[in-house]
C-alpha cells in the first residue's frame, strides 16, 4: 500500500477514535439475580434481576448499582472502550507501515561538525599521520 493510502487510513481511524471518546468507559456491566425477603415472590424463582457496573478505579475494583435506565447507556460506553482498543491496534499498525515506507533523507551535520572528507584533509590529521609513520620506521 502506498504512503498516501496509509495516511488516509490513519485519518479515518483518528476520526472514528474521536467519535468514541465522549462515551468511553472502562468497565463491564454485570447482571445478577437477588432475593429480597422471605415473603416476596422472588423466593420461588431466580429472584429479582439487577445490574451493576464493575470498574477498576485507582487500582481497586468498584461496583456501581445501575438502575434500569442506565443499563443500556453503560453497555454502550463499555462497548465503546473495546472498539477503541481495536482502533488503537489498527492505528499502531498503520503508523508502523508509515515509518517502514518512509524514505530516509540526507543526513545533516550538526553545526560545527566537519565532514569525513574535511577531517581527512585537515592539516592536524595529516601531521598526526606523518608522526605515526615516522615512529614506526624509527
Q: What is the mean pLDDT of residues 3-25?
A: 90
> What 8-state DSSP symbol labels residue 112?
T
Reported as a pLDDT band with limits 50, 70 and 90, residue 138 is very low
Closest CA to 14 of 84, 65, 74, 69: 84
Domain boundaries, the chain: 3-103
CA distance 49 to 75: 16
Q: What would the pLDDT profile of 92-115 be if each residue is shown by its tens digit? A: 999 999 888 876 666 666 666 666
Q: Of 27, 64, 28, 71, which Cα lies nearest the Cα of 49? A: 71
Q: Is 81 exposed, middle or buried (0-12, 13-18, 19+ CB in 10 A)?
A: middle
Amino acid at each position: 500500500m502506498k504512503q498516501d493510502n496509509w495516511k488516509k487510513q490513519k485519518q479515518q481511524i483518528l476520526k472514528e477514535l474521536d467519535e468514541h471518546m465522549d462515551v468511553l468507559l472502562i468497565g463491564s456491566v454485570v447482571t445478577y439475580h437477588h432475593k429480597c425477603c422471605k415473603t416476596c415472590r422472588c423466593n420461588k424463582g431466580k429472584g429479582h434481576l439487577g445490574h451493576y457496573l464493575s470498574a477498576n478505579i485507582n487500582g481497586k475494583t468498584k461496583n456501581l448499582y445501575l438502575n434500569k435506565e442506565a443499563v443500556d447507556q453503560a453497555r454502550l460506553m463499555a462497548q465503546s472502550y473495546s472498539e477503541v482498543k481495536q482502533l488503537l491496534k489498527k492505528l499502531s499498525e498503520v503508523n508502523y507501515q508509515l515509518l517502514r515506507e518512509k524514505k530516509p533523507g540526507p543526513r545533516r551535520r550538526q553545526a560545527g561538525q566537519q565532514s569525513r572528507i574535511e577531517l581527512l584533509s585537515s592539516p592536524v590529521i595529516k601531521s598526526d599521520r606523518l608522526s605515526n609513520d615516522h615512529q614506526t620506521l624509527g
